[in-house]
Amino acid sequence: VPAVVSVVFKLLTAFCCMATLFAGALKNWKFVLAFIVFSIVFWFLQFSYQLFLAQGNFGLALVRSFAFSGATFISASLFSSAIFKFVPKYAKYWTVRRSLGVMGFVFIVFHVLAAMNFVFNWNSQSAYWSLNPFENPVVFGGLALSILFVLFLTSTDWALAKLGGPRWKAIHRLVYFGFLFAIFHFLRMNPPALMNFSGSSVFAKKQGIRRPFSRRKSSAFPLSLMASMVTSTKSNFLVPSSSQTF
């Protein structure tokens, strides 16, 4: 009996913690549900397109569709930040920006799981055969995932209240570096896979992010610097690494 009571108590505690952490999402559950449906539809269209390009290779289509969906959503999240800064009246839609970032991370997690299953057969040594990111772009991907994970954990209203505005903003500026690592991962892993509509759309958003911020010097400087580095090194990075697999 004590063991059962202990388990029930732990479950109730976990439920209360979850309710506190996701109070904002529960309050706007209709929007959250609609956005999840939209995200699934978007991914399915992306998957269908990638399945066509991969000539029916199911595993490859999963890996690429999750990657492009994640990159598109995170790019759109950053692009919306630029819009909010220069057109303040749209800042009231900040929940859309957060939802794009969170769902982008979710897609990236599925991308990692699909790659580990279909490409590396759950062999971490095969994935991290080298820790030099210029030889093994998976390292760039791992760095991006680590940063995005921290942002995902602190994306709730509860985290914002606990951390305080200035500290929360400082942490979330790490997204610029996470996005930089993600772009480098894309450019080095398999450049030919970017030569389609999905790849072009991601880089179009990157250019859209860069241009507004490049016109003013402010706290957005890291993003402008990041985009400039990507643009200036793009031609050098468009060379597949020796670990190119997907």
- In the DSSP assignment, the letter for residue 238 is -
Sign of CA dihedral 158, 150, 39, 211: positive
- In the DSSP assignment, the letter for residue 240 is -
pLDDT digits (tens, 9 = 90+) for 57-101: 999 999 999 999 999 999 899 888 888 888 888 888 888 888 999
Cβ neighbours of 159 (radius 10 Å): 15
**How many angstroms separate the CA atoms of 214 and 2, rounded?**
63
Question: What does the pLDDT read at residue 81?
Answer: 83
**How many angstroms separate the CA atoms of 77 and 95, rounded?**
10
Model confidence at 155, in pLDDT bands (50, 70, 90)? confident
**How many angstroms separate the CA atoms of 147 and 74, rounded?**
13
